Chains A and B, each alone.
Chain A
Amino acid sequence: MTSFDVPARVTTNAYDAIVIGAGHNGLAAAAKLGKSGRKILVLEAASAPGGAARGREFAPGFRSAGLAHLVNRLDPEVARDLGLTLAPKSGAAMPTVVLDGANEPAVLRGAYGETIDGVSVSEAEAFGKLREKLVYQAGILKRFLRRPPPQLGAIGIGDISTLAAAGFGLIRKGRAEGRDFLRMLLMNVADVADEYLEDDRLKGLLAFDATLGIHLGPRSPTSLLGLYYRLTGEVYGKAGGQFIPEGGMAAVAPAFLKAAEKTGVTIRCGARVGRILADRGRASGVVLADGAEFAAPVIVSAVHPRTTFLHLLDPAESDTGFLRSISHIRTAGNVAKLDLALERMPNISGLTGRDHNGRIVIARSMEHVETAFNPAKYGEFSPDPVMEIVLPSLADRTLAPDGACTLSALIQYAPYKLKMGWAAGKPAFLRIVLDILERHAPGIGKTIIAADLSAPTDIETEYDLPGGHWHHGELQADQLLINRPTRAASGYATPIDGLYLASAGAHPGGGISGLAGWNAARHILSGAKR
């Protein structure tokens, strides 16, 4: 029996499936389901689709494209299958620049530093070795991303072939490499970087990339997993690449939207779902906050799992142990997002004009990242945070008036549960961040027209994202694979028949990959019972 065999209860409209949330994962799920000829309705609470990739005007004439400011893990298979037209702007890959405020910048070119400027030849070579090893190891993990995690007790042929392929990947380069993978898998990124590198800037970059968006410092156990996750992303077949698409990040949401609309999916914005209807373990539809009711045998929730089970579904429909684990999902965000409206393009010290197009990371060293993390453990923001900066208007001129410029920064650590509260904390944190920017781009302060800092609490409100966590839950060992978001709902199917998860809170996690939504749709289409 497939999930579609059950007849829908006839009410105002009959759809084969309803997708809750028109974020990129919701749209990917809708597009994939729509492609099979089924009637799909997408319900979005906000007035426009896109989710966290939804653009907004943060100052008169200045727009931000949303939470993400570059693409580094859009899955090529998803893009091909859904016909996403998100291509990098022609030219060389987007570089990553590491600033320490003292030395010349280290500039990583190609996909994650195929070549590096600003470091010694021997250091570049050492980075190359480490990069090759990490990319190889990430490649072993990568094969798990495109399918539901294996369900213990119900391992299928597909799972066995994935596990076998992973096992083969493990020994492909010889036993020594296989052993090294098993040694490193749960290590912290600091120790791994120390084994290979001397240069503080490169170590700082690895530390930053491994921990961005995760409540871990580089010396926290398992912090290397974050870097693996980053390196499972690829651009044009190259692991660790990154780009801003033609038309800027503002093109991301429309691309997914187009893919969904192309397959005949109906998308309704301003339609906040109030409740998921379910009775005795089977979902049957949704009721909007305004009372309108839609019936469908399949409900795909592309919103946070906690919202799904604690707020949309009647708690009485779930078992106690399940709700207990859902309420234990760790989903407190750690990153603040800064949008600056500038009179003109800033001039970052030591950087060529061209490299201003890159991703600019401010991290002096591993210790810098670790020290920035320390206060976050105790509910305080970093007095000396690390950050990643992009100048979005360079790729998309429509974001700012002529001659003006926008700057977007992801800053950590900025814990969701700030002891002093973000109302009081935000002005202080903003001042700290602007001081840092001033040090690296002298004069930038005088050109600021508007500064819009989103603390995790603002991100939570703006995007309906519990904890303001863009992964919809910490991306750590205990919340991955068969435990994402929690065991009983880890395979897109949930304990409620007909209700599926498709957000970043499901496997494999966050970032603009489209995988969670696409995987969920494929799982539904497969007709698998669990």
Chain B
Amino acid sequence: MNALTQPQNTTESRRAARNHILMPRLETPFHPRLTALDEVNDWYNWAGYKAPHSLFDEELEYFAIRSTAALFDISPMVKYRIAGPDAERYVNRLTLRDVRKLGINRVHYTAWCDDHGHVLDDGTLFRLGEQDFRLCCQERHLPWLLDSAIGFSVEIREETEEIAGVALQGPTSHAVLKEAGFAGAELLRPFEIGTFAHDGGTVTISRTGFSGDLGYELFVPRAAALSLWDRLWRAGAEHGIRAIGYSALNRTRIEAGFIVANADFVTAEGALRSDRVRLPDEIGLDWLVDPDKPHFNGRKAILEARQNQTLKHILVGLEIEGNIPAEHAIVYHRRKHEAGLITAAIWSPTAKRNIAIASLDRPYGTKFVSDLWVEIYAMRELRYQKMMKRATIVPRPFVKLARRTATPPGLR
């Protein structure tokens, strides 16, 4: 309904419709807590929400994830609820993996493609019931999801606004949950979902996360967000809990070898240039593609590209000599032939290695896998220091932690 359809309050409704300009950046349900803890005032725009790069110190926040427990606000993550008699069939046609194999109260990482097999986004699919799903992702996809529902009896709703999410990651995260009184959380296996009482309602806790560490993600209705934060914060006092921003989490996700849409690859609907789109096999997601499951979007294009060997790119993990992060450096073969680009790179404090994720143009990365170099430009007092460093293709994840999958988790 627009202002013109309500002549009795024209002015009023017009004013109401433009009030969004007073809040150009939305605040998440946890914002009052984040802003109270914030010392550095370093915010960025995450899908229209104000989100912290860092809250006090990036290094210390990183070590909170790896050594104690970290709270990270994931409310801006785009969330869709998909339910109805055809929900399973719908999601199975939408995404790459076989949803029939995803049990109730289980989560899996997946991705979805357009007709040409180009990846629209990746994300996690939560199976909350027989025909009830939550799809979490980086970009917004409602038109695509709705058009995908042509011929299906299914209801699709964006619930980003109404559901608050927080990630609790780190070796003491389970101890925090236990301390907070979430009895039974120790039984959650990786990618399992549990429902627990909270604040007169329930909280959904899944053993998932983006840190490659032991960790959980908690979802509650918006109104219960602050009470959940406080409950965790109090329980975490003795377990080194810290609130963190994205920069620290980003380091851990690189160590874990996870990719980020529109950072490590350009999503199909976001790409302006026709050669920037990527097939799953070109961004390391070939393992998600299940040719044996019923038809899914992009199936024909993906399988044809495999058969005709027309895949153009490959995503690899690199270890680079030295300790200077090679972010966005160009990768060369034999020091002179351009072979690709580094999309994410850090010095890994946990692996004690200089690591990177790179997109290479095949046959680099497939046929030519050695004699790779990266050209790092380090700005040193208004002069670039140019370095040619040797890079080696190594498997991802760069950091693998036993506590990530141990059930029940150790309490320290």
CA distance A317 to B93 in the complex (A): 8
List which B278-297 residues lie within 8 A (CB) of chain A: 291, 294-295, 297
Q: Would you call B295 and A316 a contact (CB within 8 A)?
A: yes
Q: Would you call B150 and A495 a contact (CB within 8 A)?
A: no
Cβ of B196 within 8 Å of any chain A Cβ, yes or no, is no
Q: What is the distance, in angstroms, from A281's C-beta to the closest C-beta of chain B? A: 5
Cβ of B115 within 8 Å of any chain A Cβ, yes or no, is yes
* 3 smallest beta-carbon distances between A and B, as pairs: A315-B151, A321-B115, A319-B115
List, in ascending order, chain B residues with CB within 8 A of A281's CB. Answer: 295, 299-300
A280-B295, A316-B294, A317-B295 known; A488+B115 contact, CB < 8 A? yes
Cβ of B114 within 8 Å of any chain A Cβ, yes or no, is yes
CA distance A319 to B115 in the complex (A): 6
Cβ of B370 within 8 Å of any chain A Cβ, yes or no, is no
A280-B299, A316-B93, A320-B297 known; A310+B151 contact, CB < 8 A? yes
Q: Would you call B295 and A320 a contact (CB within 8 A)?
A: no
List, in ascending order, chain B residues with CB within 8 A of A144's CB. Answer: none
Cβ of B89 within 8 Å of any chain A Cβ, yes or no, is yes
Cβ of A175 within 8 Å of any chain B Cβ, yes or no, is no
List, in ascending order, chain B residues with CB within 8 A of A310's CB. Answer: 150-151
Q: What is the distance, in angstroms, from B115's C-beta to the closest C-beta of chain A? A: 4
The digit string for B81-121, where 1 denotes a CB below 8 A from any CB of A, is: 00000000110111000000000000000000011000000
Cβ of B147 within 8 Å of any chain A Cβ, yes or no, is yes
CB < 8 Å: which of B94, B115, B152, B294 contacts A322? B115
Q: Would you call A321 and B114 a contact (CB within 8 A)?
A: yes
Cβ of B148 within 8 Å of any chain A Cβ, yes or no, is yes
Q: Would you call A324 and B150 a contact (CB within 8 A)?
A: yes
Cβ of B165 within 8 Å of any chain A Cβ, yes or no, is no
| 12 pairs of residues in contact across A and B, judged by CB atoms under 8 Å | A310-B150, A315-B152, A316-B295, A318-B295, A319-B114, A319-B297, A320-B114, A320-B148, A320-B297, A321-B115, A323-B151, A495-B115
Cβ of B144 within 8 Å of any chain A Cβ, yes or no, is yes
Q: Which residue of A lies closest to B291 (CB)?
A: A280
List, in ascending order, chain B residues with CB within 8 A of A194's CB. Answer: none
Cβ of A461 within 8 Å of any chain B Cβ, yes or no, is no
The digit string for B299-314, where 1 denotes a CB below 8 A from any CB of A, is: 1100000000000000
CA distance A513 to B241 in the complex (A): 77
Cβ of A279 within 8 Å of any chain B Cβ, yes or no, is yes
Cβ of A13 within 8 Å of any chain B Cβ, yes or no, is no
Cβ of A347 within 8 Å of any chain B Cβ, yes or no, is no
List, in ascending order, chain B residues with CB within 8 A of A280's CB. Answer: 291, 294-295, 299
Q: Would you call A323 and B295 a contact (CB within 8 A)?
A: no
CA distance A55 to B93 in the complex (A): 43
Q: What is the distance, in angstroms, from A355's C-beta to the closest C-beta of chain B? A: 51
Q: Would you call A323 and B150 a contact (CB within 8 A)?
A: yes
CA distance A488 to B114 in the complex (A): 13
List, in ascending order, chain A residues with CB within 8 A of B90's CB. Answer: 316
CA distance A324 to B297 in the complex (A): 12
* Residues in chain B within 8 A of chain A (CB atoms): 89-90, 92-94, 114-115, 144, 147-148, 150-152, 291, 294-295, 297-300
Cβ of A327 within 8 Å of any chain B Cβ, yes or no, is yes
Q: Which residue of B lies closest to A326 (CB)?
A: B150
List, in ascending order, chain B residues with CB within 8 A of A278's CB. Answer: 295
A279-B294, A327-B150 known; A320+B115 contact, CB < 8 A? yes
CA distance A488 to B297 in the complex (A): 14
Q: Would you call A320 and B144 a contact (CB within 8 A)?
A: yes
Q: Which residue of B lies closest to A280 (CB)?
A: B295
CA distance A476 to B298 in the complex (A): 29
CA distance A37 to B264 in the complex (A): 55
Q: Would you call B147 and A320 a contact (CB within 8 A)?
A: yes
Q: What is the distance, in angstroms, from A2's C-beta to the closest C-beta of chain B? A: 18
Q: Would you call B298 and A316 a contact (CB within 8 A)?
A: no
Q: Would you call A315 and B114 a contact (CB within 8 A)?
A: no
List, in ascending order, chain A residues with CB within 8 A of B114's CB. Answer: 319-321
List, in ascending order, chain A residues with CB within 8 A of B294's CB. Answer: 279-280, 316
Residue among A316, A317, A320, A488 with most chain B CB within 10 A:
A320
Q: What is the distance, in angstroms, from B99's C-beta to the closest C-beta of chain A? A: 12
CB < 8 Å: which of A314, A324, A488, A495 contacts B147? A324
CA distance A266 to B11 in the complex (A): 70
Q: Which residue of A lies closest to B152 (CB)?
A: A315
List, in ascending order, chain A residues with CB within 8 A of B144's CB. Answer: 320
CA distance A256 to B299 in the complex (A): 39
CA distance A280 to B90 in the complex (A): 15
Q: Would you call A495 and B151 a contact (CB within 8 A)?
A: no
The digit string for A265-291, where 1 denotes a CB below 8 A from any CB of B, is: 000000000000011110000000000
Q: Would you call A316 and B89 a contact (CB within 8 A)?
A: yes
CA distance A149 to B239 in the complex (A): 69
Q: A315-B150, A321-B147, A323-B150 are in contact. List 16 more A-B contacts (CB 8 A).
A: A278-B295, A280-B291, A310-B150, A315-B93, A316-B151, A316-B295, A319-B114, A319-B297, A320-B115, A320-B147, A320-B148, A320-B297, A321-B115, A322-B115, A324-B147, A488-B115
CA distance A488 to B115 in the complex (A): 10
Q: Which residue of B lies closest to A495 (CB)?
A: B300
CA distance A43 to B362 in the complex (A): 49
List which A506-529 residues lie within 8 A (CB) of chain B: none
Q: What is the distance, in angstroms, from B301's C-beta to the closest C-beta of chain A? A: 8
Q: What is the distance, in angstroms, from B307's C-beta to the closest C-beta of chain A? A: 12
List, in ascending order, chain B residues with CB within 8 A of A314's CB. Answer: 151
Q: What is the distance, in angstroms, from B49's C-beta to the closest C-beta of chain A? A: 28
CA distance A324 to B147 in the complex (A): 6
Q: Which residue of B lies closest to A278 (CB)?
A: B295
Q: What is the distance, in angstroms, from A494's C-beta to the closest C-beta of chain B? A: 11
Q: What is the distance, in angstroms, from B111's C-beta to the closest C-beta of chain A? A: 14
List, in ascending order, chain A residues with CB within 8 A of B291's CB. Answer: 280
Q: What is the distance, in angstroms, from B189's C-beta to the closest C-beta of chain A? A: 30
CA distance A318 to B115 in the complex (A): 9
List which A322-337 residues lie within 8 A (CB) of chain B: 322-324, 327
Q: Which residue of B lies closest to A310 (CB)?
A: B151
Q: Which residue of B lies closest to A316 (CB)?
A: B93
